[in-house]
Structure 1
């Protein structure tokens, strides 16, 4: 069984932070920090552990915010410039990796009154972990300064800093404060994304794709406009970015986005969906078998997704779209595609008993449907 994510922050994390902060601040009460940070830590979930350590930092770092930032920055590992964030961890020469998350949270809590110094600290911290969650209160509270800083950082030598420009300003970043102003109007981030979409780092480009996909959920026309401007003649790396950015709108069958990818034509042929078993107990898996037969005279490029219409407590249903297949179907060709779909309890969805519909969407249009009965 995989180790729970929450265990990435543990008593060893507390000890590492205490040792390195004390090395660079003689007045830092490492013993008190260890006591406060360790008390009740094991009972907390992942994000709560980072916040718990940040609270202990607030109680023990200098009251002078600039002095506290000086101590934090001095305690960090030296930057080489080629590090993968996933490989970073606390070492003998300083702090990096998950231990840095509580440090960024401290800066976000205490630095809103001194945003210039706080942003400088986040610039250092994001090169040892990520400040994507911590920068969001500054975007909300000090937007002019934040966007001026992000524009400058979009040209930073560090890929970690350039990624922060995109990731930290995503309107709907998971685990992060929702930036409601940018959900309503994402235009302030568009120049940043344009500057970064051809970044040499795939790590940065992936963030740009996810940012555009966030925007697509609220402003599909804006992302369709983006594709019409930036897809024609795009180099392979940008095409991959834009395809990932289009995933939500392709699943929705957005006509302009499908057309931009050459997928606007409806499927010419026959489609039939079979589901087994037809009666399922929660925790089991379904097998979807999709039979296709082309009646077209030319090869068809098909993007195939499927939607499960989950029964809600009220008895109504709500569809959730899942990725299916991307393929080319030759003239007259017939084939059967199969996929297993688990119906298991997850934290983000509550299942209810009843008849669930499953529909198949080919190039955005529903072409086949079947049902199964779920017992909870």
Structure 2
């Protein structure tokens, strides 16, 4: 994941100021000019707020001056990239400050104009929180826009659980409220748009699994050539959770006559930073063909010593009567920002068509000291120091 400096850097803030002074020569943009000196040690969200608030301080009161400046900036090709993020947030604040006026719809249309330069999906949330139905009336119109970025904005901006974004309680309380947007875009020509639709329906599945399966079933009953792939991606969380309705919809029936041997682990202990290999055998003992969704579950040790399961996708297989298959996987315990590892006895379990098969335990230990390699030894010699 990029760092805050890589996304909203000092250079991008300076460039934003240059663009705005170029198109609005009568404004000094003093607050924005001071922002680069405040960025050290700040997170991305903090940087966004600093720039947004500086813009609101520098531009005259009301919505019209914001629209005038941003529309003018859109004529400049250098007005693009991460500098757009805080600009969209400033637009949202001014446009929703008085929801009774025409600036509400005007602000949304300005977001549609900005989104091809980066994205405006996060700023849409401010409009949704201010007036859900009024916003959706505009957003639904975006589904017919000739620009794929605007069509994607309709789906992505209204996602119930958009990553990095604030949640909109009204959407979570009404899981089907965005369904018209999804129905309008599910056959979209752009893979970029269809992937957003799949992610959106996956968000719906976390709040209302039955509704997500119902929507997906309707799409599969009247499919486009791309529908099956879209539905598989949309129902991925339900498949990992072993949801029977989602599994059945995708053809994964309960594996009643499946024999599984394993999992067999390559080692009994593994250190943080290393990988664990495992393998298993599966055989179809039934009289008919069986389609398998094969996942595996790592039961991680938590800080309090209890275990927390995390499901990982492995593969899908179709086995003829009497057919057997041997499969394996290497699972990495390389440190990542979204998970903290704790030493202790972990477990690995197979999950096939939503049902558990086999379980093997292993011990996760702390990260082993890295052994010096040839480059390290040469670096030590060149600096007059030994390898130690």
1:106 equivalent in alignment to 2:84: no
Report the alpha carbon displacement of residue 111 of structure 1 after superposing the two structures with TM. 2.5
2:13 maps to which residue? 14
Verify the 8 A CA contact 1:354 1:375 in the aligned structure 2.
yes
1:63 maps to which residue? 61
Q: Per the alignment, in what secondary structure is the counterpart of residue 61 of structure 2?
A: coil
> 1:231-290 CA deviation, whole Å, 9 max, x = no partner?
124122122111110101111111111111111231533211012322122222111212
1:52 equivalent in alignment to 2:36: no
Point out the more displaced range, 283-292 or 110-119.
110-119
Verify the 8 A CA contact 1:6 1:49 in the aligned structure 2.
no
Report the alpha carbon displacement of residue 34 of structure 1 after superposing the two structures with TM. 5.2
Structure 1 pair 168/292, CA: closer, same or farther in 2 (3 Å)? same
Report the alpha carbon displacement of residue 218 of structure 1 after superposing the two structures with TM. 1.4
Match of 2:311 among 321, 346, 368: 321
1:85 maps to which residue? none
Q: Per the alignment, in what secondary structure is the counterpart of residue 295 of structure 2?
A: strand
Q: Per the alignment, in what secondary structure is the counterpart of residue 187 of structure 1?
A: coil
2:28 maps to which residue? 29
State the TM-score, normalizing by the size of structure 2. 0.87
Report the alpha carbon displacement of residue 349 of structure 1 after superposing the two structures with TM. 2.3
Matches within 5 A, 1:175-214: 175-214=164-203
Q: Per the alignment, in what secondary structure is the counterpart of residue 265 of structure 2?
A: strand
Q: Distance in 1 between matches of 2:339 and 2:326?
A: 30
1:372 maps to which residue? 362
Verify the 8 A CA contact 1:361 1:367 in the aligned structure 2.
yes
Which runs of 5 or more structure 2 residues have no equivalent in the other structure? 98-102, 367-388
Q: Per the alignment, in what secondary structure is the counterpart of residue 174 of structure 1?
A: coil
1:152 maps to which residue? 141
Matches within 5 A, 1:156-305: 156-266=145-255, 268-271=257-260, 272-305=262-295
Matches within 5 A, 1:127-142: 127-142=116-131
1:124 equivalent in alignment to 2:108: no
Runs of 4+ in 1 over 6 A off after TM superposition: none
> 1:7-46 CA deviation, whole Å, 9 max, x = no partner?
132222122211211121122214x255322113242233
2:374 maps to which residue? none
1:363 maps to which residue? 353
Report the alpha carbon displacement of residue 156 of structure 1 after superposing the two structures with TM. 1.7
Point out the more displaced range, 316-325 or 260-269.
260-269
Q: Distance in 1 between matches of 2:277 and 2:152?
A: 39
Q: Per the alignment, in what secondary structure is the counterpart of residue 117 of structure 2?
A: coil
Q: Distance in 1 between matches of 2:57 and 2:278?
A: 56
Report the alpha carbon displacement of residue 157 of structure 1 after superposing the two structures with TM. 1.8
Q: Per the alignment, in what secondary structure is the counterpart of residue 221 of structure 2?
A: coil
Verify the 8 A CA contact 2:112 2:150 in the aligned structure 1.
yes
Report the alpha carbon displacement of residue 5 of structure 1 after superposing the two structures with TM. 5.9
Q: Distance in 1 between matches of 2:323 and 2:253?
A: 20
Q: Per the alignment, in what secondary structure is the counterpart of residue 335 of structure 1?
A: strand
Q: Distance in 1 between matches of 2:34 and 2:272?
A: 42
Verify the 8 A CA contact 2:96 2:104 in the aligned structure 1.
yes
State the TM-score, normalizing by the size of structure 1. 0.90
> 1:268-324 CA deviation, whole Å, 9 max, x = no partner?
332110123221222221112122223233432211011111222222222111111
| CA root-mean-square deviation | 1.9
Q: Distance in 2 between matches of 1:221 and 1:93?
A: 46
Matches within 5 A, 1:321-340: 321-340=311-330
Which runs of 5 or more structure 1 residues have no equivalent in the other structure? 78-91
Q: Distance in 2 between matches of 1:61 and 1:150?
A: 27
> 1:217-241 CA deviation, whole Å, 9 max, x = no partner?
1111111111222212412212211
Q: Distance in 2 between matches of 1:367 and 1:339?
A: 16
Q: Distance in 2 between matches of 1:52 and 1:284?
A: 40
Q: Distance in 2 between matches of 1:269 and 1:138?
A: 51
Verify the 8 A CA contact 1:33 1:56 in the aligned structure 2.
yes
Verify the 8 A CA contact 1:267 1:302 in the aligned structure 2.
no
